[in-house]
Structure 1
Amino acid sequence: MDQAITDFIAGRPPSRVDTTLRRLTHTADHSVLWFAVAAILAVRRGTGRHAAMRGVASIALTSFTANAVLKPLLPRRRPAAAELPAYRTVACPPSSSSFPSGHAASAAAFATAVLMENRQVAPVVVPLAALVGWSRVHVGVHWTSDVLAGAVVGTSVARLTRRWWPVRPSDEARARPIDTVHALPQGDGLVIVSNPFSGPPDHDVSDEVRERLPAAHHLVVGDGVKVEDMLEDAIAQRGRWVRAVGVAGGDGTVGTAAAVADRYGLPLVVVPGGTLNHFARDVGVYDVQEAVDATQAGEAVAVDLALVEAHPGRLDDPEDVSVTRTRYFLNTASIGSYPELVRLREQWQPRYGKWPAFAAALITVLQRSEKISVRIEDRWYKVWFLFVGNGPYHPRGAVPAWRPTLDSGLLDVRWLRADVRFSRLRVVLALILSALGHSRVYHQREVPRLDVELLEPSMLATDGEVVEEAGRYTFRVAERPIPVYRRDEERWTGRDRPFQG
């Protein structure tokens, strides 16, 4: 079959295709072509950047597999230069083993990885990858079976990355629709606070929020002013006019506004204005326009709020009368070294991607962190840290990456034990083998409430920020979910919107 296809190509008359494929195969040398495509994809945040990072990582793994492992093990002569006319061949053809094709493997790996994250680019990336593979046969440096084997290797390696780096099936989490919230035309009935200090210095959405929601009562955070006090005062002044609380900022500001909205029984409007905007992304609100669409249509979903009660003392001490301090958290809470892990992950995530950054941060933190003694479910453990998620995170038995649902009524509790022999080494090996869920070091529970006691007071972090120090904590889900405005994408698909210049 290989010889027949090569003979067929040799018998074709010269054409512009020869020049085009020679140039294309050169641009794919050392994956330069795919790095250029990845750079273009990475310009856009979200799925584009995720696709670029997974594509580059897949190329690295595939290149090692094909060139460093398979080629030395499976040596094969390349097609003889005399089999094709000179105008169809390339100068300085490679002399390494022909099997499998490294170019085809990298092309297939990149295309498969990109499609796993962003299927919208399939009409461009897939034909381009196929042409690169075919170009290797056309210019006479590979047999057809080399290219097919390379494509299989690349596709397999790219799909294998899901074991370490899970693919999120949908950007927005599932949540129960609520049809009892008011429509807020142009923001009428909305008290909204914008925090210009939440995000990057060059990114302030407060002016856009004021422009898109002109009828709302707008507040802007200043130095030394508490978001909670600003919202409380505005609600007291506006009285019955207030139908919803809004916030434009990062997760910390959103959490404060959510606590106020919950106390007053009001729905929440979220506008992403922070650096990472984890909560807004989970809800499914990516920009100001999506928040405006939802408020105008009166569309919302039920979202759980989680609380942590910090009360120094011991759980079994009936005489303890310490004042309990309650804090809300939208995403995660943690005890131990987890805040440092989050800080390193967020620092490295733009460069390496979420999962690789998390894995590297986890290994780094385990080298530095100190063990803490904690009682969980009436049993004492020594742990590296305790993680509590507002709702079950996926994947189970691995690094928590996303929430599939926002109104489960459960907490996701995970901890890494430090009282198991070689616990650090076990964690690292489990990460490498994608077997963390089967390790004795790893524990996970899903519960509506969790009481935790510490041998010594330890720091508590909520949504990545250290906020408290106490000897015991109670984590629970709030009694009722809070309505959060989110447009119904199925209803909005194809609907005409006003032109936004």
Structure 2
Amino acid sequence: MSSPSNASSVPSPTGLRTWLHRGDLAVFRSVAGRHWPGAGPVLPRLSRSADHGLLWFGAAAGMAVLGGSARARRAALRGVVSLAVASAAINTVGKGAVRRERPVLDAVPVIRRLTRQPFTTSFPSGHAASAAAFATGVALESKGWGAAVAPLALAVAASRVYTGVHYPSDVLAGAALGIGAAFALRGVVPTRGQLPAPGRPPAHAPALPGGRGLVVVVNQESGSATATASLVRDSLPLAEVVECAPGELSAELEKAAGRGRALGICGGDGTVNGAAAVAAAHRVPLAVFPGGTLNHFAYDLGIETVDDVCAALAAGDAVRVDLGRFRPGPDGPTGAPGYFLNAFSLGAYPELVRTREHWAPRIGGWPAGVVAALHVLRGDRPLEAELQGERRPLWLLFVGNGLFRRVGPAPGRRHNLADGLLDVRAVHGGRTPGLRLLAAAVAGPLTRSPVHAAVRLRRVRIAGLTPGTPYAYDGEVAHSQKELVIDKLPEVLTVYCPMPV
């Protein structure tokens, strides 16, 4: 039997809570009674600006627009989603678990107090949770952007004690929950750094420090290509940079491939597609500078910035890549085959591309994409075609150059661009195209269902098409003959690419 002295040495739960509350209150009063030079006009406004996450949504928008890279956009998106996860946890569980009253404001100077006092319980701090979740989510994707937003997150968390709406422990608990939410999200949706490096069969390519021997062709009308071209000139002073209009692109690529040791291209996926075909035909390595609205091929190779390409050029680091092929090509049976680096598709997607391009010059790229999606989902008639000898109605036929993998709900990404395989996915016809396309979007690769099928093949034959049926390849739209044959040219293309460290 324990002695009375031993029993009294262990604090009861009630005593522990009392001790913690006294400590909390002491720190709170110390903050309230101290003069903080410069904080008076800043922290209360900062605290109000973070209401409902508005400060963080604005920061994310700024990062996405001004960041100028896919990494910045990913960081912004991860920060916002982390904030949403933390906010959901706080509002559904946290606030109801501990019904702690807000601090008494007597000790807080009137000038610091918020005009509108919160009416929810005090523990934990939702503002601190949102700030910590956003900053942590951003940092997990981009250390640079994380360092930029961390001071702002700390200031918002501190403002909640400074304005008297939370005890210090409320803020610490909220911050811990926010950080936990960001890491929990990373467990479901890995960051780009967590994903395995793509399969990269190494290739021989000449080292071109400073860009010596490199001719870069720039499509003036591709996304951010003109701004990227300026960075290329600064980073590779020995390279020759040629800017041209889309109508001159093919001729300039042929000239550049004939006079340089390597061919450079600056533009989006459609522009890179044309350069890849020329580089493969001339057997010269290709340097891809992402400068379009979408840069799927470059990003799948780990190329996100001009610096990535410059490092690969200086070291002579390159990989071999498969080139998808379809016959007949855009010029008909008598013309050259068509090629694709990313994907070939029939059905809903070509219509989406065509509608988006029609509206983009008038209302902008993103709104045009929304209009195009709504237009496609209203479609009432699937495509009729014979696929691998079996005739069937199809809402969508997708043929990817390499297997597109997905981790959780994250967008698809290829881990191997030289696997020799085609990722073939079909959405079967029916009365509900919207639901069927959505089911195909969330289904994993290589699955079968009543509405969706996915297989890996080396060759695809599509017959029984109505002449003039639109198809899309790397974002470009053309029109088919009665039959199409799709296959691959394995490892025919050499691309400069930074090696994983």
TM over 0.5: yes
> What does the per-residue CA deviation read over 1:319-342, in whole Å, with 9 as the maximum and x for residues that have no partner?
xx9657511111221111213445
Q: From 197, 200, 205, give the equivalent of 2:229.
A: 205
SS in 1 for 2:120: coil
* Aligned residue in 2 for 1:245: 263
Matched letter for residue 456 of structure 1: T
Greater shift, 463-472 or 292-301, is seen at 292-301
Please show how residues 454-469 of structure 1 align to structure 2 within 5 Å.
454-457=464-467, 458-469=469-480
Q: Is the 8 A contact 1:191 1:231 kept in 2?
A: no
> What does the per-residue CA deviation read over 1:159-182, in whole Å, with 9 as the maximum and x for residues that have no partner?
676799774337996353635322
> How many residue pairs get matched?
468
**Alignment pair present for 1:49 and 2:68:** no
Matched letter for residue 294 of structure 1: A
What is the CA-CA distance between 1:478 and the residue it aligns to?
A: 0.7
Q: 1:40, 1:104 → 2: CA distance?
A: 21
What is the CA-CA distance between 1:464 and the residue it aligns to?
A: 0.8
* Aligned residue in 1 for 2:14: none
What is the CA-CA distance between 1:183 and the residue it aligns to?
A: 3.1
Greater shift, 250-259 or 13-22, is seen at 13-22
Q: From 307, 323, 331, give the equivalent of 1:305.
A: 323
* Aligned residue in 1 for 2:396: 385
Unaligned stretches of 5+ residues in structure 2: 1-16
SS in 2 for 1:176: coil
SS in 2 for 1:305: strand
Q: Is the 8 A contact 1:50 1:353 kept in 2?
A: no
**Alignment pair present for 1:15 and 2:34:** yes
Unaligned stretches of 5+ residues in structure 1: 313-320, 491-501
> What does the per-residue CA deviation read over 1:240-296, in whole Å, with 9 as the maximum and x for residues that have no partner?
xx5433333333232222212212322223333434333333334445555454334
* Aligned residue in 2 for 1:27: 46
* Aligned residue in 1 for 2:99: 76
* Aligned residue in 2 for 1:98: 122
* Aligned residue in 1 for 2:9: none
Q: 1:59, 1:344 → 2: CA distance?
A: 34
**Alignment pair present for 1:453 and 2:430:** no
* Aligned residue in 2 for 1:318: none
* Aligned residue in 1 for 2:278: 260
Q: 2:73, 2:489 → 1: CA distance?
A: 35
Q: Is the 8 A contact 1:427 1:436 kept in 2?
A: no
* Aligned residue in 1 for 2:192: 168
Q: 1:345, 1:65 → 2: CA distance?
A: 38
What is the CA-CA distance between 1:463 and the residue it aligns to?
A: 0.7
> What does the per-residue CA deviation read over 1:195-229, in whole Å, with 9 as the maximum and x for residues that have no partner?
3233458647289559935475x6554574451x4
Q: Is the 8 A contact 1:386 1:415 kept in 2?
A: yes
Greater shift, 35-44 or 148-157, is seen at 148-157
Please show how residues 353-364 of structure 1 align to structure 2 within 5 Å.
none
Q: Is the 8 A contact 2:257 2:279 kept in 1?
A: no
Q: Is the 8 A contact 1:38 1:55 kept in 2?
A: yes
* Aligned residue in 1 for 2:414: 403
Q: Is the 8 A contact 2:225 2:267 kept in 1?
A: no
Q: 2:163, 2:235 → 1: CA distance?
A: 58
Q: From 110, 114, 136, give the equivalent of 1:112.
A: 136
Matched letter for residue 45 of structure 1: G
* Aligned residue in 1 for 2:382: 371
Q: Is the 8 A contact 2:140 2:146 kept in 1?
A: no
Q: Is the 8 A contact 1:250 1:275 kept in 2?
A: yes
Q: 2:325, 2:123 → 1: CA distance?
A: 58
Q: 1:256, 1:311 → 2: CA distance?
A: 13
> What does the per-residue CA deviation read over 1:9-44, in whole Å, with 9 as the maximum and x for residues that have no partner?
255373235984995364133135434543553421
Q: 1:303, 1:459 → 2: CA distance?
A: 27
Please show how residues 132-171 of structure 1 align to structure 2 within 5 Å.
132-133=156-157, 135-137=159-161, 139-142=163-166, 146-147=170-171, 150-151=174-175, 154-155=178-179, 158=182, 167-169=191-193
Q: 1:263, 1:468 → 2: CA distance?
A: 24
Length-normalised TM-score, structure 1: 0.74
Q: Is the 8 A contact 1:208 1:288 kept in 2?
A: yes
Q: Is the 8 A contact 1:55 1:114 kept in 2?
A: yes
Q: 2:334, 2:58 → 1: CA distance?
A: 58
* Aligned residue in 2 for 1:317: none
**Alignment pair present for 1:196 and 2:220:** yes
Q: 2:87, 2:272 → 1: CA distance?
A: 44
Matched letter for residue 79 of structure 1: R
Q: Is the 8 A contact 1:334 1:462 kept in 2?
A: yes
